[in-house]
Amino acid sequence: MSTTNSEIGYVSPKTQVRWIPVIGLEVHCQLKTWTKLFCGCRNEFGATPNSRTCPVCTAQPGALPVLNREALELALRTALALGASVAPTSKFDRKNYFYCDLPKGYQISQFDQPYCTGGGITLESGKRVRLTRIHLEEDAGKAIHDRGDTTLVDLNRAGVPLIESVSEADMQTSQEAFEYLTALKEILQYVGASDCDMEKGSLRCDVNISVRPEGEPWRTKVELKNLNSFRNVQASIEFEIRRQVEAYESGDPAQFPVQETRLFDAEKGVTRSMRRKEDAHDYRYFPEPDLPPITVSAERLDRLRSALPELPTARRARYQKDFGLSAYDAGVLTADRALSEFFETVARLSKLPKEASNWISNELLRNLNDPLLPIRSIDELPFRPHDMSLLLGMLDKGEISGQAGRKVLRAMFETGKSPKDLVASLGLEQVNDSAALDDWCREALVGKDKIIADVRAGKTKAVGALVGPVMKASKGSANPQVVQEILLRLIAEMPS
Ligand SMILES: [Zn+2]
């Protein structure tokens, strides 16, 4: 990592001094297991408050935790996909603090012996952001403070498995932080570890950030919390860089950044002090006596490694090589594993990979993002890849026009019916050669003497103005290429 690169850093508008941001990220990710980390309660978002609880996750006397094997496997898969090393032996520790959403008075976490160290993510620029460690821990419950002077507690989340990935402070711009998060999220989704839904809190991110003048040692870091979207991560970093530089440049030590936690106010785009940072020893970590150490054999790791799916980077390269897609299209299609698998099935069934790429990354995603439709993800589609490949086949054979194809796809989203049925019921068969086409073209020529004269004078492009009306008369079922040919033929046949 170069720190003398003249492109990197923030140049103060006041002093022209180049300040280098130092950014590290801590990402909490809920694992997509059937049950919680240490008990048999369902790990489920949105259930009736406190309905997914038992003596273990509500800390009744005498209740003992048992490690969920599925959670450990997902955590291990993530470590392997990130090229990290897994410790043959690691242990759990108690992180002690008091809060109403933490019934035990401590969180079971990993302190000095995490299950995973090292690894990292390579950004598009080729820069490597190293991971310090990943550890496994349980989530706390949820305290709801927005009911006047009452606080409600929901323990459904208490004991949900989490992995916390801590990066080295290798990032220097908000864009790098965004890229790192995007790549990490993709990997977590590809290995099936998490759905990474930030709205449901299954992916949460904290930022550690400081600034220093180029060539000088690191200064005090500040922690940013409450970042519930990647956009807010970027915006809070950008605000914080400016705030810290201005504070140092004020020359008043009382204004200098202090070690603290700050919250991001997304509406105002500013960060505010929440609390001075506790030191790690305030948590009085000590080994969890009720759980044995985690041991992971080399054989188990080999088995998990060989079962890993193809990861996004490898998949993007294959799409470019095998399907001739651009880097951009390959990126769009692989950003989501379900989308990527949908595309591959459609490409294989239709044998039209380029068309599949175009239609899926443009038309299909447009409908998925349309707020007027209730479907938000590939998993909710009311039709199968097979239907999409039939649609592409009809387009390829010229049986329907592109415009009709878009209507059919929309109707597939709305009704889930097969494209063949929809083409018939909507009357969208492309009319390539029929008396009807000739009639519509003759009508379009009536009174268009100027255009006819232009075409006769050699300006054949002038006929383009008449294609639209014919398409409209055919309700989009005509083939525009054929319409143009008929118009030119009719003009040529006219007596001069
Ligand atoms: Zn429970």
Tell me the per-residue pLDDT of 239-257, one tens digit each, with 9 for 90 and over: 999 999 999 999 999 999 9
Query: What pLDDT does 281 receive?
Result: 55
Cα(156) to centroid of ligand 1, in Å? 8
User: For residues 448 and 487, what is the distance between their CA atoms, to the nearest angstrom?
Assistant: 12
- For range 447-475, the mean pLDDT: 88
Helical segments of 133-261, H only:
174-190, 230-249
Residue 19 has phi, psi (to 5 degrees) of: -100, 135
- For range 104-132, the mean pLDDT: 96
Bridge partners for 35 per DSSP: 42
User: For residues 1 and 385, what is the distance between their CA atoms, to the nearest angstrom?
Assistant: 44
Residue 451 and residue 464 in contact, taking contact as beta carbons nearer than 8 Å: no
Least confident of 2-6, 385-389, 477-481: 2-6
Cα(444) to centroid of ligand 1, in Å? 73
- For range 81-103, the mean pLDDT: 96
Q: What confidence tens digit (pLDDT) does each residue in 139-148 have? A: 999 999 888 8
Cα(39) to centroid of ligand 1, in Å? 5
User: For residues 82 and 158, what is the distance between their CA atoms, to the nearest angstrom?
Assistant: 27
Cα(187) to centroid of ligand 1, in Å? 28
Residue 302 and residue 76 in contact, taking contact as beta carbons nearer than 8 Å: no
Q: Which helix (H) or strand (E) holds 367?
A: helix 365-368
Query: What pLDDT does 433 receive?
Result: 66
Residue 279 in this model has a pLDDT that exceeds 80: no
Cα(206) to centroid of ligand 1, in Å? 27
- For range 398-407, the mean pLDDT: 88
Cα(155) to centroid of ligand 1, in Å? 9
Cα(93) to centroid of ligand 1, in Å? 19
Cα(380) to centroid of ligand 1, in Å? 30
* pTM of this prediction exceeds 0.75: yes
Residue type, 307: A
Cα(42) to centroid of ligand 1, in Å? 8
| Span 435-493 CATH architecture | Orthogonal Bundle (1.10)
Cα(40) to centroid of ligand 1, in Å? 6
Residue of higher predicted confidence among 436 and 268: 268
Closest listed residue to residue 23, CA positions, set 228, 162, 199, 179: 179
Residue 2 in this model has a pLDDT that exceeds 50: no
Residue 294 and residue 89 in contact, taking contact as beta carbons nearer than 8 Å: yes
Cα(55) to centroid of ligand 1, in Å? 6
Cα(297) to centroid of ligand 1, in Å? 28
Q: How confident is the model at residue 285 (pLDDT cuts 50, 70, 90)?
A: very high
Cα(134) to centroid of ligand 1, in Å? 24
User: For residues 383 and 257, what is the distance between their CA atoms, to the nearest angstrom?
Assistant: 55
Cα(286) to centroid of ligand 1, in Å? 23
Cα(256) to centroid of ligand 1, in Å? 45
Where do we find the tokens 């004078």?
457
Cα(43) to centroid of ligand 1, in Å? 9
Please tell me the number of Cα atoms within 13 Å of 375 on its side-chain side. Answer: 19
Query: What pLDDT does 274 receive?
Result: 87
Residue 453 in this model has a pLDDT that exceeds 80: yes
Cα(346) to centroid of ligand 1, in Å? 42
Residue 6 in this model has a pLDDT that exceeds 70: no
Residue 223 and residue 239 in contact, taking contact as beta carbons nearer than 8 Å: no
User: What are the domain boundaries of the chain?
Assistant: 10-298, 310-426, 435-493
Cα(186) to centroid of ligand 1, in Å? 29
Residue 139 has phi, psi (to 5 degrees) of: -80, 160
